[in-house]
A and B are shown apart, each in its own frame.
Chain A
Amino acid sequence: MISSTNRQSAMKKAALVLTVLLLGTASCVLAANYVVTGQATATVATALTVTATQELDFPLTFPGQPSTQGITHDDSTGIFTIDGEPGAKIITTFYLPEYMTGPGGDRMTITFGATDCAIDTSNAGTPAAFGDGWNNQNPQDLTAATLGADPVIGSEAPGNNTRIYIGGSIYPSIVQAAGAYTADIVLVVAYAAQ
């Protein structure tokens, strides 16, 4: 007759053997595992850079005398240069000031007309000799819908860049304080979905 203690001992042994068998079986499954490693690869293309190449510089003016600076002056039209992946579509957005600030915080109105901007994708173009792209555009609306397509980074060697020309008008009041006036013109550029 098997005592209770012996029965418990036998059950423990059986459980141990079963556990060992299960572990053995599991080991076999793991051993049959086949593994392969593939890769995901990507190359981030040329970084975008935007440079304010030339300031929009208005000529000397008198109180009460408006002044306009067009987009065809090599030495005074505002010029931004955009470098990046040649041929890549971009989104360009201007944040334009409504006034310039002068001596003692005096303000002078500045405006930008519907043809005060050009996007030149050629390497050889200048404000005075526009190359390729979009001329006489509204700097307030450079969307693809208005332009007919997304502007692109120029792909003409050796520059592979795009330049944006901007002009504007100022309206000094008759009591405008004499002195130098400045304002920030902000151009934001990002790659568009290609």
Chain B
Amino acid sequence: MPHKARTACLKLLLVIVVVVMTAAPASFAQGTTNAQATATVLTALSVTVNNNLVFGNVLQGVPKEIGPDDNDSTAQFVVTGQASASVSMVLTLPSYLSHTASGDQMMLVFASDQAVVDTNATTPASVTSGDGWLAQNPYSLPAGAVIGSGGQTNVYLGGKVIPEPNQEPGTYEANIILSVSYLGS
């Protein structure tokens, strides 16, 4: 094709493109409709500590155990959220307590039956198997855990300290972390 003819074609094509671009908004304006995106965010999760795991006075060389059924000394976590929603719950557990002044360490262990998941939000002393999951491994809480039908699930935790015969007297502490998230069902 001669150079002039090819240049003419390109100009024509450019004009067509400009016309199409100009026409395009007009074609959208002819058929407008509105759709909506909708969603409902369900009740937010909240996790609180109702009671710490309290061993009280411990004697040198004498282990002391607190079960998951002691209203005064068992650790109690309260999880609230959307009733009956599935949740993932993970406890991050310490392996020792630290002396608040010197940092001296005292062994802390959690047996495989020291956790309870109570979907009826009763109490450590009164929870039964019909309320949820008894004698659970705190390192692996039930995969099918849910927020109770009343919008609340409690987690109870016991443990055992093992002081050395020459354990330094004084106050010891450790953090116990509970992480909870919705599973989407």
Which residues of A sit under 8 angstroms from B159, Cβ to Cβ? 40
Q: Which residue of A lies closest to B157 (CB)?
A: A38
Stretch at the interface among A44-52, A66-74, A129-137, A160-168: A44-52
Most buried by B among A36, A39, A40, A47: A40
Q: A34-B46, A194-B59 are in contact. Are A41 and B173 (CB under 8 A)?
A: yes
Which residues of B sit under 8 angstroms from A38, Cβ to Cβ? 49, 51-53, 75, 77, 175-178
Q: A35-B178, A38-B77, A47-B169 are in contact. Are A191 and B59 (CB under 8 A)?
A: yes
A37 and B173 alpha carbons, distance in the complex (Å): 12
A90 and B1 alpha carbons, distance in the complex (Å): 113
A121-139, CB < 8 A from B: none
- A116 close to chain B: CB less than 8 A: no
Which residues of B sit under 8 angstroms from A40, Cβ to Cβ? 52-55, 75, 94, 97, 108, 159, 161, 173-176
CB B74 to nearest CB in A, in angstroms, measures: 11
Binary contact readout B42-67 vs A (1 if CB under 8 angstroms, 0 otherwise) = 00011111011111111111101000
- B172 close to chain A: CB less than 8 A: yes
- B163 close to chain A: CB less than 8 A: yes
- A33 close to chain B: CB less than 8 A: yes
- B180 close to chain A: CB less than 8 A: yes
- A193 close to chain B: CB less than 8 A: yes
State which size class the interface on B falls in: 35 or more
CB pair B47–A35 under 8 Å, yes or no, is yes
State which size class the interface on A falls in: 20 to 34
A29 and B171 alpha carbons, distance in the complex (Å): 38
CB A9 to nearest CB in B, in angstroms, measures: 26
CB B12 to nearest CB in A, in angstroms, measures: 27
- A4 close to chain B: CB less than 8 A: no
Binary contact readout A178-194 vs B (1 if CB under 8 angstroms, 0 otherwise) = 00000000000011111
Q: Which residue of A lies closest to B172 (CB)?
A: A42
CB pair A41–B49 under 8 Å, yes or no, is no
Most buried by B among A36, A42, A45, A46: A42
Q: A29-B181, A32-B182, A44-B168 are in contact. Are A39 and B59 (CB under 8 A)?
A: no
Among B52, B53, B169, contact of A45 (Cβ-Cβ < 8 Å): B169
CB pair A34–B179 under 8 Å, yes or no, is yes
13 examples of A-B residue contacts, CB within 8 angstroms: A32-B181, A34-B79, A37-B178, A39-B53, A40-B54, A40-B173, A40-B176, A41-B54, A41-B97, A41-B172, A43-B172, A44-B106, A85-B59
